Structure 1
Amino acid sequence: MIADRAHTRFRGQTGLAARLALRLAPRLVAALAALWIALAVPVAALAQDEPDYASWEQAASRGEDVVEAGTASTPTLEALRADIVAWRDQFVAAQSINAPRIAALKDQIAALGPAPAEGDSEAADIAARRKDLNDQLAQLQAPGLRAVEAYSRADSLIKAVDDQTRVRQADRILRQSPSPMLPSSWMAAASEGLKVVTGIIGDVRDRTYGAAGQALIGRLPLIALYLAAALGLLIFGRRWIDSLPLRLGSRASEYARDAVAFAVSLGQIVIPTAGAYLLTRALDTTGLAGAWARPILMVLPVAALILFGGRWLSRRFFPLTGDPPICYPELQRQRGQFYGTALTAAYAVHHIAAQALLPLSGFRREGPAGSRIPLDVSEAAAGVWHLPIIVVGALLLFRLALVLRHRPELSGSDMPGYPGKVMAGLGAVARIIAIAAPLLALAGFVTLANATLWSTVLTIGLAMLVIVLQEFATDLWAVVKRDRNISRNALAPVLIGFALVIGALPVLALIWGASPADLREGWTQLRQGVSLGGVRLSPGAVLTFLIVFTLGYMVTRVVQGTVRTSILPRTRLDAGAKNAAVSGLGYVGIFLSALLAITSAGIDLSSLAIVAGALSVGIGFGLQNIVSNFVSGIILLVERPVAVGDWIQVGTAQGYVKRISVRSTQIQTFDRTDVIVPNSDLISKEVTNWTRGNQQGRIIVKVGVAYGSDTRKVTEILRRIAEDQPTVLINPPPTILFMGFGADSLDFEIRAILSDINQGVSVQSEIRHQIIEQFAAEGIEIPFAHREVRIVNAGDLSAPVPGRPKAPPAASAAAAAKPGQGQPAPVQPTGDEDQDPRISMATSSGLEGASGGSDGDGGGER
């Protein structure tokens, strides 16, 4: 009944899973189809109108002149590039003009057969038709070929603009300014710094009086509201949100605790950043910030976001309580949290200086008017002002790198240790950059020092963020599975972690100087595909392959399940044949799915013929064992000399066959251990199959009786014992054989055929139990070897031995045995028996019951 309820519950759960799969499958297919269309469709829309080539000619000529002159500003080059990219997208779409009609014409020409070779002729009507179709094909292909030519010109022009932009960027980064150590640089820094302070004070003074001052009085309620909200969020809100993850995490269920704590902890970024924004709004609402102070004021919210975001990341990566992503010691985590937060504060200061005050940052982009103070800061002054920020940042980076230099294991015992290795590698590189950046700044390469130092800081932050998000993905999967101890090696968390790494690559490129235009260009090139061995692979083709193969694989599994549960149980095939049929069906389905996926993706396998021919040589030598095992696995499934459930012996491995795969066979031994045997061994080596064809098998039980026993009586007893066993077959009947005269016994054998050889050991054990019982009842002895010790010339033991001390009287008295009192006292060996010829030890392998009798006193010399 319990089994029935469990089976009913399992069927209910299976039915629920099937219903959920049926509901989610259309949505999943629709999402995959939308993504497939987004990647497979050309960059521009499927428009069939030809581009305006006259306008393109003018735009291309103007762009080539600008690039050749090399004097255009960076914004001009960016605008020119955007215009050329738009033209190139039109040409990509124009390449597919008349594509359906071109395909139809090619099919018509192919239907006419191959063109005649040079010097041969064909029927006049066929030749005329072929010429007409070729003329139509050339006319239809003309717009596409023109678009291909224009696309090549546009692509070359874009590459020229990119090359010129990269050269300018490299020159800007490698430019050497006056060293911050020069006294002239100090004087310039002090003079221009005084101008900035005077400008800010002047703004505040000029806006405090007059009309601006009157307006300030009217805005006081709004300013007070902003200030109250800002201070509330920065003081009370920050304290409340810092304690909220721990309080909510303790109330959540065990499997959702970590995910809830992570989600709530994001408020540690949002709430204080919102408070900083409101504080900035309050200061800006006063109207006291003018052209000198307002650029600094406007970058404060972003700087606050950097500060609080870095503080949150340091706390998540180096937590003082709970399970950390990487198990650093507690002292290292305290240091890592402090240095990480301090380094984030230094980067926030650098961001303010780079965006509002100083050039030479290596990161500043062109911004709108009013985004910087109205002072053209000299490079000498900028170098002096940047130097302390670089020195402090380098020192903090070096200290943080010391924390990251170790390679600890992850918190989960089943997780791979690559995050610890990545962070250790970044720590090693960061130590070198932390030493080199201040030296570069002192030498005048301030832009290069800023670029390398802060790019390294952002790279470490990005790696920490990816690892923290991977932990969060695992926590979310634990919520889905309702198991907090779920393995981090589960497929879903691993795939999400891989997707996070792939998504971090564009961000990493931006960190190290790539522009959004570079990323868009790379994505465009990727969508058009990469040529490998004559085969062009694109995201659309790869996604098409994956979708078609996945669907084919799912259909194969469904068919396998249907055949296994609905068709094969109604046949007379044995378990091995059923398993072979299901496995063979799976191989055929996977092969057809792969073939259909390759065809649907538009991959031309003929282009890979040469490569496949070359690889076949390597396969023949390097992969011959794998190929041999694969072929052997196919032979096992077809010929079925071994099937699942058979009791076999291969070499020293003996047990039941549990699974036959393509490469190997799994055998479960009788001590419940699994032995993996390559399939080639089952084909090339000697294999004993105890249960192939039927379950019958023979057992042999050997027994010896004492000399003098009635052999006919022994034979009848053994036959009766064998025939009483329920699994021993009557036809053929068991055989009792008198095998011979042994050294110690008369040897007999019981040979019987069992209906189930799997019970052979149990039957042999039961037969031996009954033999002992029957022989004891009939007085038949079973001999066994024994050892005897004989004392020769016991009376001479009392005499002293030359060269040996005389034995004490007690020992001499104990050595003399009284006649008729049983066995003599045992003699303790001294190791010198070989020196005394009066004592000898004899070992007899005689039979305990073969003497035919004993002395009346119990056998004094036995």
Structure 2
Amino acid sequence: MSLISRCCAALLLAMLLMGPALAQAPAASASAASDASSQEMPGPTVAELRARFAKLPATADNNEDLRTLLAQINAIAAQVDAFIDARSAPLADLNARLGELGAPPTTPGNTEDANITRQRAALTKQRNALDSDVRLAKLLAIDARQRGTDLVNQRRKLFEAQLTERAPSPLAGAFWLDIRDAWPDDIARLRALWDEMRRGAIVASEPGHRVPVLLTLVAALLIAVAGNLLAESAMLRLAKRWLPPGRLRRSLLVLAVVGVNVVLVGASAQWLHSVLDANGALGEQTRKVAQAVVASSIFIAFVVGLGRALLSVRRPSWRLPPMSNDMARRLAPYPWLIGLIGVLVWAPAQVNAVIDASFAAVLATHVLTALALTGLIAAIVLRLGPEHAPPPIPHDETTADAPVVPVERPVWVGVLLSAVMVVIVVIWVLVAIGYVAMASFLAGQLTWGGIVAAASYVMFKFADDLCTAVVSSKSPFGARLQKSFGFAPQTLDQAAVLLSGVSRVAVFFYMLIALMAPLGSGPGEVVQRSGQFGSGFKIGEFELVPGAIFSAVGVAVAGFIALRVLKRWLAQRYLPSTTLEPGMQSSITTLLGYVGGVLVVAFSLSALGIGINRIAWVASALSVGIGFGLQAIVQNFISGLILLAERPVKVGDWVVLGTSEGDVRRINVRATEIQLGDRSTLIVPNSEFITKIVRNMTLANAEGRVLIRLPMPLSTDAKKVRALMLAACNTHTEVLPTPSPSVTLEGVEGGALIFQAIAFVGSPRLAGGVRSDLMFEILDALRTAELPLSVPTMMVTSGAATPMATPAESPPPPAQT
């Protein structure tokens, strides 16, 4: 597999990852009239495709013939797929129309309208013909794919046989003797190619062809050289002006530089090739050489553009890899050297294929390829050794006397470079012992791996920068999402990380396809293999389709966003305009969230291809676990649904549960949150509200009660005390006039009169504060009126140093609410 072909695969890989592929699917509709025949579909028929397929040979003798035959079979398979797609919709439409007409009557004596009978017969005839074509096409598709698989296996075996073949070593005399013996024949073949090129030059220099050829040559050179420089400068200015500062601007500039270089150079080279061919300057052999030159120009543009964009010698702040300026300057010539040496080692192989050179010339080309590529890679590895850089210093100091310290680098980088050097040594050993074909292949794979790794690194960075710049809470678009849909910043940041991880997995998948392609595969087979993977693969009995996975993710994201928008609209716009109390509004919103979440998950699983029967099977399998280990969770879940439906406790209620009391702040699917008086939160399982006694202070009546009991001496003027306590209750702003406050004389306890005042406030939450205020006012009023409270009787005993309260009197009980 040549470096130019691999470069084309890398370019195609970048194009697949930079944007969605455009797929064309032929579509046709069935006739609307019941008595009309089916419309003719465009494209070849099944019989024509079958005839073309039958004419193709089942095998080939060499690698080039196998490649051509495989391309023809793939083209037929693509046309068959298009044929099936174009007729699937009309066939489904005909089946639906026949289903609407129903089956013909079978009971004797039952008849139907003649028009319906004729319409059913016509539709049945059309359906049978279309169904027959689709079935034959599917059989042809299976045969084509089987033939293609056999050819790929045959090509792989042929390549492996050639790869493991041992030839004379370049260190032995037999290698050079073979070249000397084959030299006259190879020179004769080269002279024929040279003569054809001279005849083409003579034709191009004729008066009728000279001007367009020269103008095209000059214009192509200007576009390839000056056009690239101007385009890079323009893209840099546009990036500074239109793109916000950040990592996304750097990665986008790298992609733009590589893309523009490839497009301009490839377009100019192809333009020059077409002009030379149109003016008769290309013969049979020179046309193949010219096509190879176009491919080599694309290779040079891709490698040089990628290397220059990654190193960014003139713009260090735009550099993607963590690399010092000195290291970037040392590596600056190597992108050009990779492109140049790649073309130099690739051109002889193309010339050998064009002129059908001798086996000795092919071996010499393999040796040249292996030694040149490994020498270049070894030089790059040595340049990538541990670098030294000055430590960061303040801006007011100079770097002249700054100490030089080694810059730490990851351990895996050193291990990888050491492994590359080991492979290089192995390649040299293979060349020395005569396995030159394998050595050439390993050298090409090593170079190809470096190019793919560099392109994948750019795509990794671009995917991460794009997700961070678009979805992150710190980005402008993320701030707009946060404002529009009410997303939390942590949610957006998590979504950005998740999307970045998914996109990186996709990039890694295509990188593995390019790196781990089977021996002898080309870019077309790599893309075909990725397409087959995209059509689906099985894990056990379940078939996973990458397109269905993305559809399921899209359905889930869109569904949860729509659910969040609906909940926000209900909570902020619609429900506040109704007469429902806030607790009921919160319950409705929570229930909608649960039901909507279940529906979104169900739709996502359906988009993934998991039917209701599979979900039921999983649920039945989980029922055993639910019965043993998840009883409490299920019990709390059902209790939460009961709380939301029957609403014995709702959001905003004041509840007493055991020794704890507080406000119900939130009813979740598993537990309920209660805010206590000290502002802490008590999380109570929902089953506690269903199976135990709960006191709801605000269920039927939201009012709170204040109770005050005071002991007074027996000689106290009871009516005066009553008047003072009623006055204190009536003058407090929080005490409700209805029911009105009351003061009663409860009786005599422990030699004291017990007065009890009862007042009502708007909420139980106010009872404690109001009771304290009333106590202050009542005590001040009693002190002013010279009405003392009753005190406990003290008893003094001999030997006692301190008084002790008698059990005759006890302090008044606390107020109750």
TM class by shorter chain equals 0.5 to 0.7
User: In 2, Cα distance between the equivalents of 1:276 and 1:98?
Assistant: 48
Aligned with residue 650 of structure 2, among 632, 643, 653: 643
1:407 corresponds in structure 2 to none
Please tell me whether the aligned partners of residues 697 and 755 of structure 1 are also in contact (alpha carbons under 8 angstroms): yes
1:23 corresponds in structure 2 to none
Structure 1 residue 80 and structure 2 residue 89: aligned? no
SS of residue paired to 1:453: helix
Please tell me whether the aligned partners of residues 648 and 655 of structure 1 are also in contact (alpha carbons under 8 angstroms): yes
Aligned with residue 461 of structure 1, among 454, 463, 470: 454
Please tell me whether the aligned partners of residues 64 and 157 of structure 1 are also in contact (alpha carbons under 8 angstroms): no
Please tell me whether the aligned partners of residues 629 and 679 of structure 1 are also in contact (alpha carbons under 8 angstroms): yes
User: In 1, Cα distance between the equivalents of 2:110 and 2:698?
Assistant: 69
Q: Residue 506 of structure 2 aligns to which amino acid in structure 1? A: I
2:465 corresponds in structure 1 to 471
SS of residue paired to 1:73: helix
Aligned with residue 152 of structure 1, among 142, 146, 150: 142
2:493 corresponds in structure 1 to 489
Q: Residue 766 of structure 2 aligns to which amino acid in structure 1? A: Q
Report the TM-score when normalising by structure 1.
0.58
1:450 corresponds in structure 2 to 443
Identity across matched positions, percent? 21
Please state how far the C-alpha of 1:637 moved relative to its aligned partner.
Answer: 1.6
2:16 corresponds in structure 1 to none
1:294-309 to 2 correspondences below 5 Å: 299=296, 302-309=299-306
Aligned with residue 733 of structure 1, among 742, 749, 752: 742
Please tell me whether the aligned partners of residues 699 and 760 of structure 1 are also in contact (alpha carbons under 8 angstroms): yes
Aligned with residue 101 of structure 1, among 77, 81, 94: 94
User: In 1, Cα distance between the equivalents of 2:746 and 2:326?
Assistant: 85
Relative to structure 1, the CA distance from residue 432 to residue 623 in structure 2 (aligned partners, 3 Å threshold; closer, same or farther) is: farther
Q: Residue 469 of structure 2 aligns to which amino acid in structure 1? A: D
Structure 1 residue 697 and structure 2 residue 704: aligned? yes
Q: Residue 89 of structure 1 aligns to which amino acid in structure 2? A: D
SS of residue paired to 2:742: coil
1:35-54 to 2 correspondences below 5 Å: 52-54=45-47
Aligned with residue 434 of structure 1, among 403, 410, 420: 420
Please tell me whether the aligned partners of residues 560 and 582 of structure 1 are also in contact (alpha carbons under 8 angstroms): yes
Relative to structure 1, the CA distance from residue 720 to residue 458 in structure 2 (aligned partners, 3 Å threshold; closer, same or farther) is: farther
Please tell me whether the aligned partners of residues 394 and 435 of structure 1 are also in contact (alpha carbons under 8 angstroms): yes
1:313 corresponds in structure 2 to 310
Please state how far the C-alpha of 1:557 moved relative to its aligned partner.
Answer: 7.0
Relative to structure 1, the CA distance from residue 158 to residue 615 in structure 2 (aligned partners, 3 Å threshold; closer, same or farther) is: farther
Unaligned residue ranges in structure 2 (runs of 5+): 1-19, 29-37, 276-280, 388-408, 431-437, 483-488, 793-798, 806-817
1:51-450 to 2 correspondences below 5 Å: 52-63=45-56, 65-66=58-59, 73-89=65-81, 92-93=84-85, 98-106=91-99, 123-124=107-108, 139=128, 141-168=131-158, 249=240, 299=296, 302-314=299-311, 321=317, 344=335, 347-348=338-339, 351-357=342-348, 377-379=361-363, 382-383=366-367, 386-387=370-371, 389-390=373-374, 393=377, 396=380, 427=413, 430-431=416-417, 433-444=419-430, 445-447=438-440, 449-450=442-443
Please state how far the C-alpha of 1:306 moved relative to its aligned partner.
Answer: 1.7
User: In 1, Cα distance between the equivalents of 2:161 and 2:745?
Assistant: 102
Relative to structure 1, the CA distance from residue 543 to residue 392 in structure 2 (aligned partners, 3 Å threshold; closer, same or farther) is: closer
Please tell me whether the aligned partners of residues 27 and 89 of structure 2 are also in contact (alpha carbons under 8 angstroms): no
Relative to structure 1, the CA distance from residue 530 to residue 666 in structure 2 (aligned partners, 3 Å threshold; closer, same or farther) is: farther
Please state how far the C-alpha of 1:638 moved relative to its aligned partner.
Answer: 0.5
- Deviation string 1:382-401 (CA, Å, 9 cap, x unpaired) is 34653464355367569869
User: In 1, Cα distance between the equivalents of 2:711 and 2:540?
Assistant: 77
2:35 corresponds in structure 1 to none
Please state how far the C-alpha of 1:607 moved relative to its aligned partner.
Answer: 6.6
Aligned with residue 510 of structure 1, among 509, 514, 519: 514
Please tell me whether the aligned partners of residues 394 and 453 of structure 1 are also in contact (alpha carbons under 8 angstroms): no
User: In 2, Cα distance between the equivalents of 1:312 and 1:401?
Assistant: 21
Relative to structure 1, the CA distance from residue 523 to residue 608 in structure 2 (aligned partners, 3 Å threshold; closer, same or farther) is: farther
User: In 2, Cα distance between the equivalents of 1:527 and 1:691?
Assistant: 60
Q: Residue 461 of structure 2 aligns to which amino acid in structure 1? A: V
User: In 1, Cα distance between the equivalents of 2:467 and 2:417?
Assistant: 31
Relative to structure 1, the CA distance from residue 64 to residue 600 in structure 2 (aligned partners, 3 Å threshold; closer, same or farther) is: same
User: In 1, Cα distance between the equivalents of 2:596 and 2:439?
Assistant: 63
User: In 2, Cα distance between the equivalents of 1:428 and 1:125?
Assistant: 90
Unaligned residue ranges in structure 1 (runs of 5+): 1-33, 113-121, 360-365, 404-422, 785-839, 848-862
Relative to structure 1, the CA distance from residue 302 to residue 523 in structure 2 (aligned partners, 3 Å threshold; closer, same or farther) is: closer
Q: Residue 355 of structure 1 aligns to which amino acid in structure 2? A: W
- Deviation string 1:545-574 (CA, Å, 9 cap, x unpaired) is 788888887887777677667765565432
- Deviation string 1:594-631 (CA, Å, 9 cap, x unpaired) is 77888899976457654554354455556656544443
Relative to structure 1, the CA distance from residue 108 to residue 573 in structure 2 (aligned partners, 3 Å threshold; closer, same or farther) is: same
User: In 1, Cα distance between the equivalents of 2:124 and 2:481?
Assistant: 68
User: In 1, Cα distance between the equivalents of 2:456 and 2:320?
Assistant: 12
The higher-RCO structure (CA 8 Å, 6+ apart) is 2
- Deviation string 1:218-247 (CA, Å, 9 cap, x unpaired) is 99999999999998789x9799789969xx
User: In 2, Cα distance between the equivalents of 1:165 and 1:240?
Assistant: 46
User: In 2, Cα distance between the equivalents of 1:400 and 1:684?
Assistant: 71
Please state how far the C-alpha of 1:643 moved relative to its aligned partner.
Answer: 1.9
User: In 1, Cα distance between the equivalents of 2:605 and 2:531?
Assistant: 23
1:632 corresponds in structure 2 to 639
User: In 2, Cα distance between the equivalents of 1:142 and 1:274?
Assistant: 46
Relative to structure 1, the CA distance from residue 346 to residue 101 in structure 2 (aligned partners, 3 Å threshold; closer, same or farther) is: same
SS of residue paired to 2:58: helix
SS of residue paired to 1:633: helix
Larger Rg: 1
SS of residue paired to 1:692: coil
Aligned residue pairs total 692
- Deviation string 1:824-854 (CA, Å, 9 cap, x unpaired) is xxxxxxxxxxxxxxxx9x995879xxxxxxx
Please tell me whether the aligned partners of residues 560 and 600 of structure 2 are also in contact (alpha carbons under 8 angstroms): yes
Please state how far the C-alpha of 1:639 moved relative to its aligned partner.
Answer: 1.0
2:621 corresponds in structure 1 to 614
Report the TM-score when normalising by structure 2.
0.61
Please tell me whether the aligned partners of residues 269 and 294 of structure 2 are also in contact (alpha carbons under 8 angstroms): yes
- Deviation string 1:394-441 (CA, Å, 9 cap, x unpaired) is 6756986989xxxxxxxxxxxxxxxxxxx9797588357425422431
Q: Residue 642 of structure 1 aligns to which amino acid in structure 2? A: V
Please tell me whether the aligned partners of residues 343 and 393 of structure 1 are also in contact (alpha carbons under 8 angstroms): no
Q: Residue 759 of structure 1 aligns to which amino acid in structure 2? A: L
User: In 2, Cα distance between the equivalents of 1:496 and 1:393?
Assistant: 32
